[in-house]
């Protein structure tokens, strides 16, 4: 894992995001000024703030909120807590959120936030104080009509509850629509917790026939057996009849060619904190997992995992990106030449933001939907979005990522042109 993490750290994610825009701009003949506009964030905020620790000392933290584009509506994007958060990473994630929202045709722009910290070494009280202080620092640029944060890496529904409460205290009344991914009791949506993984499973199901894969009985591996990865695995196993043979997390991985029981692996991880040591499975590194011979590979960890160095070793027929930015542009070319179907992040993991949109809409209306309705609407969005991208890929003879960017960038550029440039 250390080698893979080191290689990933050498790649600037924002440069990756900008190269992806250039590829599509050349393909669709985007005007030079529009190209430059779409390669630049609209607004960036860097904040440095103190937090009281449990021993009554104070530590300084740095956080970011980037609003990339708001042509189609208020910006939307998660907040992550991680030691390796950087401004360029947040810029890239905000750009990808812009395209992700456009791909699934939501009336949103893209944003992202992050705080440089190690949440594994902080108590719940310290995390609450950090969250509330960070929320107060970015409060001037967030809101249900402006920018709606959500959970991301090492943040969750509790984090969102703290942000919602902090924002509401400043306003003097409850504003549930300021964030999504909240607990149900505070205006959260049914089905939000599993939405990213469920959406990914739906897209895999839709793409499988075109990739020559029968999902029932298909083998698959998950790099990053966290929220999105584990939910996708559970749905693929229990609802679609696929077979999990390998899974990993930040501590390592496990491999069992005859199949791993998803529920048992989840129970093991809940008890021990990792998939490592699962009974009856062989140890496996994250590097080895990516190269395992399976029908379906689900990268659900961090960005820059499939690179020019290891792309030719990928043996899966379908790569479904439950993570953000796991494949660099140079690797896309190799995978395309190998006839591997890539389901790009801005499609494959868009189930989360789709149900976040449902949550926001429910909060604004003050009217909440049952789980069956949320799931049905999510399936409709993911199925239609895959069809839109597949049609473009076939028509232009390009891989799915380029097709997804064509759909997304065209929609955002159209919105900018129709609105016009003020003043």
The whole-angstrom separation of Cα 413 and Cα 364 is 27
Instruction: List, in sequence order, every residue forming a beta bridge with 78; answer none if it has no partner.
Output: 150
| C-beta separation of 283 from 312 below 8 A | no
Instruction: List, in sequence order, every residue forming a beta bridge with 51; answer none if it has no partner.
Output: 59
| The residue to which tokens 């597949």 are assigned | 390
DSSP state string for 319-340: EE--SSS-B-HHHHHHHHHTT-
Pairing status of strand 341-343 against strand 318-320? parallel
Instruction: List, in sequence order, every residue forming a beta bridge with 45; answer none if it has no partner.
Output: 65
**DSSP classification of residue 3:** H
Phi, psi of 75 (to 5 degrees): -80, 155
Instruction: List, in sequence order, every residue forming a beta bridge with 219; answer none if it has no partner.
Output: 243
The whole-angstrom separation of Cα 100 and Cα 111 is 11
The whole-angstrom separation of Cα 50 and Cα 133 is 8
**Whether residue 120 lies in the annotated active site:** no
Of the candidates 112, 182, 256, 317, the residue annotated as catalytic is: 112
The whole-angstrom separation of Cα 208 and Cα 411 is 27
Q: Is 296 helix (H, G, I), strand (E, B) or coil?
A: strand
Q: Is 309 helix (H, G, I), strand (E, B) or coil?
A: coil
**Stretch (H or E) spanning 253:** strand 252-255
| The residue to which tokens 């496996």 are assigned | 284
Token pair of 371, please?
Answer: 């789980």
Residue 270, judged by CB atoms within 10 A of its CB (0-12, 13-18, 19+), counts as: exposed
Among 163, 38, 60, which Cα is nearest to 113's?
163
DSSP state string for 193-248: TTHHHHHHHHHHHHHGGGGT--STT-EEEEES-SHHHHHHHHHHHHTT--EEEEEE
Just list the catalytic residues: 112
């Amino acid at each position: 894992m250390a080698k893979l993490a080191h290689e990933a750290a050498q790649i600037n994610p924002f440069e990756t995001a900008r190269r992806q825009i250039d590829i599509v701009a050349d393909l669709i003949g985007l005007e030079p000024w529009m190209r430059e506009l779409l390669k630049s964030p609209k607004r960036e905020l860097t904040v440095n703030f103190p937090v009281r620790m449990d021993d009554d000392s104070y530590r300084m933290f740095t956080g970011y909120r980037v609003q990339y584009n708001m042509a189609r509506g208020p910006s939307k994007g998660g907040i992550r807590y991680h030691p390796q958060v950087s401004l360029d990473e947040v810029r890239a994630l905000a750009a990808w959120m812009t395209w992700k929202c456009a791909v699934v045709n939501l009336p949103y722009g893209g944003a992202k936030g992050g705080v440089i910290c190690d949440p594994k070494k902080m108590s719940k009280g310290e995390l609450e104080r950090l969250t509330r202080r960070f929320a107060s620092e970015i409060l001037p640029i967030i809101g249900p009509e402006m920018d709606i944060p959500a959970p991301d890496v090492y943040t969750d529904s509790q984090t969102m509850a703290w942000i919602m409460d902090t924002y509401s205290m400043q306003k003097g009344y409850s504003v549930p629509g300021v964030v999504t991914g909240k607990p149900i009791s505070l205006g959260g949506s049914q089905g939000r917790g599993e939405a990213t993984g469920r959406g990914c499973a739906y897209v895999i199901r839709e793409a499988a026939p075109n990739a020559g894969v029968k999902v029932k009985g298909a083998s698959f591996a998950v790099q990053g057996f966290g929220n999105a990865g584990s939910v996708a695995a559970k749905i693929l196993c229990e609802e679609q009849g696929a077979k999990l043979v390998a899974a990993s997390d930040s501590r390592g991985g496990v491999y069992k060619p005859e199949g791993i029981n998803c529920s048992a692996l989840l129970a093991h991880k809940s008890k021990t904190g990792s998939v490592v040591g699962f009974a009856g499975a062989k140890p496996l590194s994250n590097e080895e997992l990516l190269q395992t011979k399976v029908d379906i590979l689900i990268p659900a960890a961090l960005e820059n995992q499939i690179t020019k160095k290891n792309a030719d070793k990928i043996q899966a027929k379908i790569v479904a990106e439950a993570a953000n930015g796991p494949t660099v542009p140079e690797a896309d070319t190799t995978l395309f030449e190998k006839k591997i179907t890539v389901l790009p992040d801005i499609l494959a993991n868009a189930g989360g933001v789709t149900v976040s949109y449902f949550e926001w809409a429910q909060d604004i209306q003050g009217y909440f939907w049952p789980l069956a309705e949320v799931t049905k609407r999510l399936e409709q969005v993911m199925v239609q979005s895959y069809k839109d991208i597949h049609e473009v890929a076939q028509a232009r003879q390009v891989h799915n990522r380029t097709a997804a960017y064509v759909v997304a960038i065209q929609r955002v550029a159209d919105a900018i042109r129709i609105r016009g440039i003020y003043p």
